[in-house]
Amino acid sequence: MPSLTALAGWGAFGAGVRFYQLGLLQRNQAKGIVGYALSSALWVGIGYTAIGFYENQQQVSKKRIASLLEKRAKRAAAQEAEA
């Protein structure tokens, strides 16, 4: 589960993107508060998905590493038994 601070960071990034977008368009940055909310919500969704992918990848990596270490230990034990 992503932390609230991480998602708040993604939301702040989304608001910053909207601020930058309006600056490039040379429009009033204080106008269109709904756009800031939508941009923040979109980026929070992207951040939530990215953090979920990262956490899932960490779990898969840990399982794979554990499996490889187990196989390595078995192989070492078999080689010691032969020698």
pLDDT at 31: 81
In angstroms, the CA 23 to CA 58 distance is 38
Note the pTM of the prediction, 2 decimals: 0.72
Structure confidence at residue 13 (pLDDT): 94
Q: What is the pLDDT of residue 64?
A: 98
pLDDT of res. 30: 83
pLDDT less than 70: residues of the chain: 1
pLDDT attached to residue 43: 93
Please write down the HEC assignment for all residues of the chain. Answer: CCCHHHHHHHHHHHHHHHHHHHHHCCCCCCCCHHHHHHHHHHHHHHHHHHHHHHHHHHHHHHHHHHHHHHHHHHHHHHHHHHC
pLDDT score of 47? 93
